Chain A
């Protein structure tokens, strides 16, 4: 118990979740090994503080463990669920402390992922996802990309965005909906990793 053993490496994320639901700590450890770097990268991007990012990731995994019985595979993949929990916690923290990073993302060059513990195939997969999302962001009209990044990584609400961008609230709402729709269309067209429906 307590570490992801080789007995878990052959399981899919959903297989791991099925075991997590039964209280298998080794399955959670394997799930951590697969997704902690992404969750931590996201938390660091939102919070820009190691300690806070660690807290956000820890709380996300703890919530996932505690709420595993409520996980519904029809609604999201396990990794999406973890990243939603991480994002929610990170945004709560950033809003509380009013730290709002505004820098753009780095250029669309996939960084190598340092940890190969989940297998080289896993890091190739992650690099591919990263290239795809960065490509999709690049293809968005400039204003829409900024809107999405400020909302998702900056934690701004729609009213806050309207004030910051000096834009009517109605325009922010319409552009945000359009930006997400375009992102979805792009990712669905250019690859097949968006979850099938």
Chain B
């Protein structure tokens, strides 16, 4: 191979990259090219998705229980790196979606759908609070702030799924996927603070995202 590595597309080598079968002496050129060429990177990503299907071919084998304990025990010593804020906030920076959240929240609050007002203030613990989520049911915020969803049986359109989110300071955390056509109680690990918004969006069935990708169908501020 001669010339500037950036100009040499990977061609057949993309498959070898996906299989992790590139020869040692070719790796520097391949790495240099991948760093500079989004097209080849995308091609390797596509082929990697395909090739990784091979991982499902061997019989799945339950690892020993102590491995689970070892993996989880090992996490405490490793700080998860901070999440880049701009990526979490991407959809909220879109004015149309922000307006939609605000509008839906206002409609719900003005419509008197908040079942109980948060009592008291100051340092006294707030009593459990129930918040209506329109046709999707309601959410309960426990005295400790823990969010629990109580969903009604709602059927999403074909190919879509309904997903609940807790939006706090511009960050959306996934709260749960609503099983189609089933009323459920979904406890979450999320803690709600005053001013947070609980929203439900429609997401692709097999491709939910790290954050909402569509405007909320319902959103209510606690």
Q: Do A and B come from one complex?
A: yes
A: residues with CB less than 8 A from B are 2-3, 5-8, 10-12, 14-15, 17-29, 32-33, 36-42, 44-45, 50, 53-54, 57-58, 61-62, 65-69, 73, 75-77, 80, 83-84, 86-88, 91, 105-106, 111, 113-115, 126, 129-130, 132-134, 136-137, 148-149, 151-153, 155-159, 161, 173-174, 176-177, 179-181, 183-184, 187, 192-197
Do A19 and B174 touch across chains, with their CB atoms under 8 A apart? yes
Do B80 and A68 touch across chains, with their CB atoms under 8 A apart? yes
Q: Is the interface of B mostly helix, strand, loop or mixed?
A: mixed
Do B58 and A45 touch across chains, with their CB atoms under 8 A apart? yes
Kindly identify, within residues 45 to 91 of chain B, every residue whose CB is under 8 Å from any CB belonging to chain A.
45-64, 67-68, 70-76, 78-84
Q: Does B120 contact A (CB under 8 A)?
A: no
- The 5 A-B pairs of least Cβ separation, nearest first, read A15-B174, A10-B176, A45-B58, A177-B12, A180-B15
Chain B residue nearest to A149 (CB atoms) is: B54
Do B208 and A66 touch across chains, with their CB atoms under 8 A apart? no
Do B62 and A24 touch across chains, with their CB atoms under 8 A apart? no
Q: Does B2 contact A (CB under 8 A)?
A: no
Do B20 and A10 touch across chains, with their CB atoms under 8 A apart? no
Segment touching A, from B98-106, B182-190, B194-202: B182-190
Q: List 17 A-B contacts (CB under 8 A).
A: A18-B173, A22-B83, A25-B76, A26-B189, A28-B71, A40-B60, A91-B20, A111-B60, A132-B53, A136-B53, A151-B19, A151-B20, A155-B20, A179-B15, A181-B15, A183-B51, A194-B50
The number of residues on chain B lying at the interface, defined by a beta carbon within 8 Å of a beta carbon of chain A, is 68
Do B56 and A38 touch across chains, with their CB atoms under 8 A apart? yes
Residues of the A chain whose Cβ atoms lie less than 8 Å from the Cβ of B211: 18
Q: Does B39 contact A (CB under 8 A)?
A: no
Do A29 and B72 touch across chains, with their CB atoms under 8 A apart? yes
A sample of 16 more A-B contacts (CB under 8 A), given A41-B59, A173-B13, is: A14-B210, A23-B79, A62-B71, A62-B75, A66-B81, A68-B83, A88-B20, A126-B56, A136-B53, A137-B57, A148-B51, A153-B54, A174-B12, A176-B15, A183-B51, A194-B49
Bound complex: CA A148 to CA B54 (Å): 9
